[in-house]
Structure 1
Amino acid sequence: MEQRIGSSSQPLEGAGFDPAFIPGLTSPASARTEDDGPEKEPEVAAAQDAEESAPEPEETAEAASPSEPEEEADVDGPVFEASDRRARIVADHRGVRLSLDDQGCEFRWDEIGAVETETARFGKRYTVTVHTPDRRWYPIEIEAPARSHFTEWDTQLDAVLDAYFEEDAE
């Protein structure tokens, strides 16, 4: 009797399992195998293109630095900021910014329908959920150093929401 190890089913194909199945959504996958090894030529070409198209450091510093201090100097309102090793939330005059690892999103105050906070019954997780008017929500969990930070964070976030969110609602 012959026995096979592993699954005998074939992998599924289609847009639900592979976004590259629809032309134009993503760049086509290379037909490399593990035996071929890494391709060096495209990386070198990409690095050369990046060097040629990158502006000089002096131009970048001059263009970026004048606008940032002016924005920060104009507004002296409350700011809420909380972070842990992976997640970060900042709420200030510009809106609410959430980031998790290398992903981030930003909401202006006119894009926000509600902001909800929740604390875990056990543990030290503080959850902030941003709700938008089109019925979408974006939660982020931050692990606090101690449960005593929850009340402090709630107070700071309420001060920011009172200062900026209520102004836009009126």
Structure 2
Amino acid sequence: MEQRIGSSSQPLEGAGFDPAFVPGLTPPVSMVKRAQQPAESEETDAEAVEAAEAAEVAADVVEEAAEAADEAAVEEDEAADDGPVFEASDRRARIVADRRGVRLCLDDQECEFRWDEIGAVETETARFGKRFTVTVHTPDRRWYPIEIEAAARSRFAEWESRLDAVLDAYFEESD
């Protein structure tokens, strides 16, 4: 049997508590207020134009900063491409682990983890078949598995060693 603590009645809504609930109950705008509205709208138009110009300037600054960050990232990628990289893919899935982190792709879905977002990386091979499973665990107890189908079971040892090299090079650095 369920027991609820507190009142079981819902708050009332409607015309009894809010006169604006019923259309037509609000008084019409007086002629005096209508005469004052154009002057106020001219002031608000000028303010709106100033706000739009300020927004354009801010957007330009943000765009320039984003372009500079992209250029810096490209230069950094070119400078540090000498580290180990693990990449495995099949017709549907793809995993890439490099100095930036781990990227998992399945069909049209993608997720990317930086090394500081990863708690553990686990690998598993199927007892029968040719599926290689990589699971990325995050510190907040979530995990993201992906299965790659290999052309032959002999690829599993190669993939394990390449992934271990990447994990040794980058995962330990973030600790």
- Mapping of residues 1-170 of structure 1, within 5 Å: 66-67=71-72, 69-75=74-80, 76-169=82-175
d(CA) in 1 for partners of 2:140, 2:173: 20
Separation (CA, whole Å) in 2 of partners of 1:78 and 1:157: 9
Matched length: 108
Where do 4+ consecutive residues of structure 1 move more than 3 Å? 63-69
- The CA deviation string for residues 22-77 of structure 1, in whole angstroms up to 9 with x for no partner, is xxxxxxxxxxxxxxxxxxxxxxxxxxxxxxxxxxxxxxxxx598455413212121
Q: Which structure is larger by alpha-carbon Rg, 1 or 2?
A: 2
Percent of pairs with identical residues: 79
Counterpart CA distance in 2 for 1:126 and 1:71 is 31
- The whole-number CA distance in structure 2 between the counterparts of 1:79 and 1:126 is 17
CA RMSD of aligned residues (A): 1.8
TM-score by length of 2: 0.58
Name the CA distance, whole Å, in 2 between partners of 1:101 and 1:67: 30
